[in-house]
Amino acid sequence: MHGHQVYLTRCDPGKVNAVIATQQLLDFFTPDCLFNMGSSGALSPNLEVGDLVVATEAIQHDFDLTGWGMKPGEILFDVKTAENGQLTFTSRQIFPTDPKLVQLTFDVAQTVELDKLKEHSPKVHKGRIVSGDQFISSVEKAGNLWNTHQALCVDMEAAAIAHTCQINNVPFLCVRAMSDKADHSANVSFTDFLVAATHNYGRVFDKLIQQLGK
């Protein structure tokens, strides 16, 4: 595709499924970078159905060690027991995406004509995304995630993929389309959303891949 070898796969919902698919891609094909696309639920009140979010960083919102004094979503690494019996470890809450790919994608998306949903012309945003093995179906839960993490949107895979790419030292890019608003009031059917989102992803990624290596 535009002089690049592209491998495409699909994972089922959830962080474990996402990690399995990601690690298989990395092990079998050793790509130079990894892209993720899919749907997300909006948390920011500024997002509308069909808007795109280019993730700058990701947090696993359902990883909870706050009882140990950790931040929401903070994950332990390299847990070891010292000779005195004390535990030592490092931790990480936020997994970044690749800043160069993020900026290039954000810039490219501004030049692409995106399909409308009803009368709304989708806009492109960039910012934090949160992920967890939960389908967020209530306004209260969405509000709690927004208040805790100030993330633009929520899904079930992106943060786990970012985590996997970080461990493997592979640049990661994530672009998500909003399938519903933070208040869950959507006047667009999911089928209509899916058709438009697929077209819009395709245009953005096609132009992005043309720009890679230039």
The 10s digit of each residue's pLDDT in 98-147 is 999 999 999 999 999 998 888 889 999 999 999 999 988 888 899 999 99
Q: What is the dihedral of CA 159, 91, 104, 19, to 10 degrees?
A: -30
pLDDT range class, residue 185, cuts 50, 70, 90: low
Percent of the chain beyond pLDDT 90?
A: 70
The mean pLDDT of 177-192, rounded to a whole number, is 75
The mean pLDDT of 15-35, rounded to a whole number, is 97
93 within 8 A of 74, measured Cβ to Cβ: yes
Q: pTM for this one? A: 0.92
Q: What is the CATH topology of the domain spanning 15-211?
A: Rossmann fold (3.40.50)
Q: Is the dihedral of CA 186, 187, 191, 196 positive or negative?
A: negative
Q: Which residues pair with 39 in a beta bridge?
A: 177
pLDDT range class, residue 169, cuts 50, 70, 90: very high
Of the two residues 71 and 214, the one the predictor is more confident about is: 71
Query: Phi/psi of residue 117, each to 5°?
Result: -115, 115
pLDDT range class, residue 180, cuts 50, 70, 90: confident
Mean pLDDT across the chain: 91
At residue 190, the pLDDT reads 73
Query: Phi/psi of residue 77, each to 5°?
Result: -130, 155
Of the two residues 23 and 195, the one the predictor is more confident about is: 23
pLDDT per residue over 47-98, tens digit each?
Answer: 998 999 999 999 999 999 999 899 999 998 878 887 788 877 888 999 999 9
